[in-house]
Amino acid sequence: QVQLQESGPGLVKPSETLSLTCTVSGGSVSSGSYYWSWIRQPPGKGLEWIGYIYYSGSTNYNPSLKSRVTISVDTSKNQFSLKLSSVTAADTAVYYCARGLTTVTTTPGYWGQGTLVTVSS
Amino acid sequence: DIQMTQSPSSVSASVGDRVTITCRASQGISSWLAWYQQKPGKAPKLLIYAASSLQSGVPSRFSGSGSGTDFTLTISSLQPEDFATYYCQQANSRGLTFGGGTKVEIK
């Protein structure tokens, strides 16, 4: 069974770049034709899709965040990463990484436990 | 962008009640609709995918229906562990969108 674990700084200063990594176990990010997603949830609010990367390296981002987001894969470490630039307090949220349920769907079926990132000086 | 509208935003119910949550898409999405359950401090858990397919390990009291723009999640007999927030989510070529959530509370 695939497992995902987010890691990264819990505190980021305004205007800086948020960087998170998702480590995958029980599967490979570079094979299997899966979609690997990042999703976030501000405290007390709903879920917001940030973007996903396909195993081939192609990406798709939420239009509202597209100018600030980069998702990439590090096959040597079996990880994928999120970078969100020019952050503000509105980017404070729990950030989840996830994998598509099957090889033919982007629907996240397997999720990490989430990591809280606070944007504050 | 496709908008997903859930209703109600909250519902109070008792153990054993039948609970129905609806989700409406701003344009047709065929059957590309999923439902999640989220408990406080936990990651969302996939319940239903492809509008009506039950995810492995999910109790059969959960069911989903619909296609096009209108979808429904039904809990046939509410159990104590079902008190949580539920989200719908659509998937198309442009990406994913979640509904605003429905909180199922104890009456």
For residue range B57-95, what is the model confidence (pLDDT) as tens digits?
999 999 999 999 999 999 999 999 999 999 999 998 889
Please report where in the chains the tokens 């009640």 appear, as a residue.
Answer: B17
Q: What is the dihedral of CA B72, B78, B80, B86, to 10 degrees?
A: 10
| Best to test chain A binding among B55, B89, B96 (most A CBs inside 10 Å) | B96
- Residue B38 has φ and ψ, to the nearest 5°, of -130, 130
**What's the CA gap between A118 and B19, in Å, rounded?**
36
Cβ–Cβ gap B44/A111 under 8 Å: yes
Cβ–Cβ gap A106/B96 under 8 Å: yes
Cβ–Cβ gap A101/B55 under 8 Å: yes
**What's the CA gap between A114 and A110, in Å, rounded?**
12
Cβ–Cβ gap A47/B89 under 8 Å: yes
Q: Which of A62, A96, A111 sits opposite B95 (nearest CB)?
A: A62
B106 has pLDDT over 90: no
The arithmetic mean of pLDDT across residues A43-50, rounded, is: 97
The predicted pLDDT at position B82 comes to 97
Contacts of A108 (CB under 8 A, 6+ apart): A37, A39, A98, A99, A100, A101, B44, B46, B89, B96
